[in-house]
Amino acid sequence: DTGVSQDPRHKITKRGQNVTFRCDPISEHNRLYWYRQTLGQGPEFLTYFQNEAQLEKSRLLSDRFSAERPKGSFSTLEIQRTEQGDSAMYLCASSLDGTRDEQYFGPGTRLTVT
Amino acid sequence: AQSVTQLGSHVSVSEGALVLLRCNYSSSVPPYLFWYVQYPNQGLQLLLKYTTGATLVKGINGFEAEFKKSETSFHLTKPSAHMSDAAEYFCAVSKAAGNKLTFGGGTRVLVKP
């Protein structure tokens, strides 16, 4: 069990560019979650998947944000036309299934929009 | 909607002293409660959780928390602080197993020698 991994760990981009982050959950974990954490704040929920189905999206997830989990394994989070307010740590977590409550977090991707 | 309030964004304790981090929540249903720890530039690690059953929950690294329904609280304690406890701590709530977590704003703990 190698834990949740995220790539890249750091991303610096210019305003207006598109960025994509990847999350690989723990093997056999069916649920995958995305959170966003800004400096000095707690993580905020963005969206989550049960296998390949996206079950819930936060209103924080504007139309510039899209997340996929095409084969029910890894997930990608894309931000289009980035804005400075998108600068944050993007955290991914996974859990075994909907009956288990423990979410395991990855190290995060830190996005800086200049 | 659920919410979590952590009193005190920063706490300073001496090594060997009691650590007490406060968490109050609001929830329309019986909550699932969690404490996570985050070390610099790392993801979150689960310290302990309450789902059902015994209201005093023991976690890793000597931490424990008590669920008090009447006070809507889930305070985290450790009898004797260690330098390695310096980190940020987050209380979180969810309304069911596998659901999204709602986090508090976090409490940063500084341990003085």
Give me the percent of chain B exceeding a pLDDT of 70: 100
When pLDDT is cut at 50, 70 and 90, the band that residue B30 belongs to is confident
Q: What is the pLDDT of residues B66-77, one digit of tens each?
A: 999 999 999 999
| Nearest in space to B94 (alpha carbons), one of B4, B21, B5 | B4
The pLDDT assigned to A100 comes to 67
Q: What is the pLDDT of residues A42-97, one digit of tens each?
A: 999 999 999 999 999 998 788 999 999 998 899 999 999 999 999 999 999 999 87
DSSP 3-state of B62: helix
The pLDDT assigned to A1 comes to 56
Q: Is B97 on the interface with A (CB under 8 A)?
A: yes
- The CA-based angle A50-A56-A60, given to 5 degrees, is 135
**DSSP letters spanning A95-109:** ES-TT----EE---E
The pLDDT assigned to A71 comes to 87
Task: Tell me which of A56, A91, A103 to substitute to probe the interface with B (most B C-beta atoms closer than 10 Å).
Answer: A103
Chain A's closest residue to B104, CA to CA, is A42
The owner of tokens 């079950």 is A55
**DSSP letters spanning A21-46:** EEEE--TT--EEEEEEE-TTS--EEE
